[in-house]
Amino acid sequence: MTPLGQVQLREELQRLKEVEMPQVVKDIATARDHGDLSENAEYHAAKERQGMLHARAKYIEDVLSRAEVIDPAKLGGDKVNLGAPYVSGASVTAEIVDREAKGPKIDIVEEVTYQLVGPEESDLKQGRISISSPLARGLIGHQVGDEVTIKLPNGTRVYEIQEIEFK
């Protein structure tokens, strides 16, 4: 896990414990005041929310207790790698290459940059992909200039690695 991922999980855990859990306790108390609990939808919804919050908090505590935090800025090298089990900070810029079946013509479809991170930190909208994803697993071990053919759920794509940066 990256230091940023650890900070985000700690903040979420703090918010759960200090804001959301006390609020759900108040919601349960308010619902109890409405009378018969057997037919009280507000009460049952609040109890279910309490259970989900408790489960999420326990899950985050477990992840944080087992996580190895690696500062990507201290990693280096010329290959996309993990740096440690389940951890990476490699930022990979690659061009998605579209080859015609017959002939040497190559079209660059788009250039993408992904940062390989732990599963808990992945966010595709921010360009952060989990190292357990098919794309990340396909990129690991390759270096700048390599063309990598990766079988993805939506088909096979060819990536040409343009830059690797540890930040």
Asked if 61 and 111 sit in the same domain, the reply is no
How far CA 27 is from CA of 45, 73, 112, in Å, comes to: 9, 45, 45
CA atoms within 13 A on the CB side of 120: 24
DSSP string, 83-148: SBTTB--EEEEEEEEEE-SSSS-EEEEEEEEEEEE-GGG-BGGGTEEETTSHHHHHHTT-BTT-EE
- Residue-wise pLDDT for 6-36, tens only, equals 888 999 999 999 999 999 999 999 888 877 7
Instruction: Give which of 101, 102, 66 is closest to 84, Cα–Cα.
Output: 66
The dihedral sign for the CA sequence 34, 37, 40, 46: positive
Looking at the structure, tell me whether residues 99 and 152 fall in a common domain.
yes
| Token pair of 48 as six digits | 């279910």
CA-based nearest residue to 164, from 109, 110, 88, 106: 88
Host domain of residue 28: 3-66
Phi-psi region of 99 (alpha: psi -120 to 50; beta: other; left: phi over 0): beta
Question: What CATH number does residue 51 fall under?
Answer: 1.10.287.180
Are residue 34 and residue 96 in the same domain, yes or no?
no
Q: What is the pTM of this model?
A: 0.63
Which range has the worst mean pLDDT, 45-59, 63-77, 89-103, 140-154? 89-103
Number of domains in the chain: 2
32-47: per-residue pLDDT in tens?
887 777 778 888 899 9
Statement to judge: residues 53 and 127 lie in one domain? no
Q: What is the residue whose two structure tokens read 């071990």?
A: 141
Residue 104 pLDDT > 80: no
